[in-house]
Structure 1
Amino acid sequence: MLHADGMSIVTTKPKKFYVITGTIIEIPPPCREYAKNKLLLGLYLSENEPTASMLFEHLVYELKLLIASDYIFVINNINIQLRFQLFKADLPCRSLCICIKQHNGYYACSHCLQRGNTLANGSNNVYYPYVTTSPSSPRTHKQYVIASNQAELNNGQLSVEGIFGASPLLSLFSNVQSNAPFDYMHLCC
């Protein structure tokens, strides 16, 4: 399982800091969450916000090589074969990493194709009303990949159904909806 999180660090100049870690799912909870059992896979520090490609292109390449080679780790006489199961991040980081609009933009849901509406008070706030008459169909992984490839042709200048580029993580995902779940703490708070 991959984890990513980002934060702003304020010094004399504001900087962006991102960390990417991995977890071995075969280690039972709560032991898998201990710092000594986390794998540090990447760090990013800059004055500029990173792109998904900056954060994951090389990492995904290396992970795909390890997965394809059927490399087996041996930990305490237990054979562990590397495979990708899940990407976990809070909503702002998830949006950046899978190249989708944040929760307050049009087509911000990775699970459906509802456009959303702008509030009538003239603000730029987007809301998603509950609609029973003509609900949008679920967004499939194939639709997500097609939209990301179309957005990539625009160099990320225009989003296609809320997606503004092709994330390297998509090549690891079998299904973006199940491999990159929502962070429920941020959905409820």
Structure 2
Amino acid sequence: MTEIRTPRLVLRRWFDDDLVALSEIHADPVVMQHVEDGKTRSLEQTAQDIEAWEEEWDEEGFGMFAVELLGSGELAGAVGLSVAETPAETAGQVAIGWRLGRAFWGQGYASEAAHASLEFAVQDRGLDRVVAVCRVDDRASAIVLGKLGMHAEGTAQDPLHGHDLVLYAIDLTQYQE
């Protein structure tokens, strides 16, 4: 089982017990405003997300981690790697992403977990490049991407939902851990 510990977090694979906590995060419209179509997700849709993330772990050797607070064991959200499907400019490349419950915003958890995910990409999976896609109006995620050392490489439009996007990337051969 893949598990990463940071000073405050545990990044791990998904447990059945995570479903309700993640569905509560997915039910918050503020959390979901920058995710896909911006709509909240049901318990059943959240179960499908976890199943898809676990399948990606099995097929690719990486995926979205469950992010747990080290002290309390509380589920904070999801952070990790996936193979991008859209937009065309990033399709087929490994992308980093996250979504955390609103109660966990502004405390550095996204940056801490994303940094650990990039270290995992380099050290454990030998990846040399990771991309990210961020909506133009998602300032908080853009700040995290900057903290990770990722640089804007261009723009695109989400082909499914029509949102304007900024495309980021990092060359992991020069990544400072």
TM-score by length of 2: 0.33
Q: Which has the higher helix share?
A: 2
Q: Which has the higher strand share?
A: 2
> If you compute each CA radius of gyration, which structure gives the higher value, 1 or 2?
1
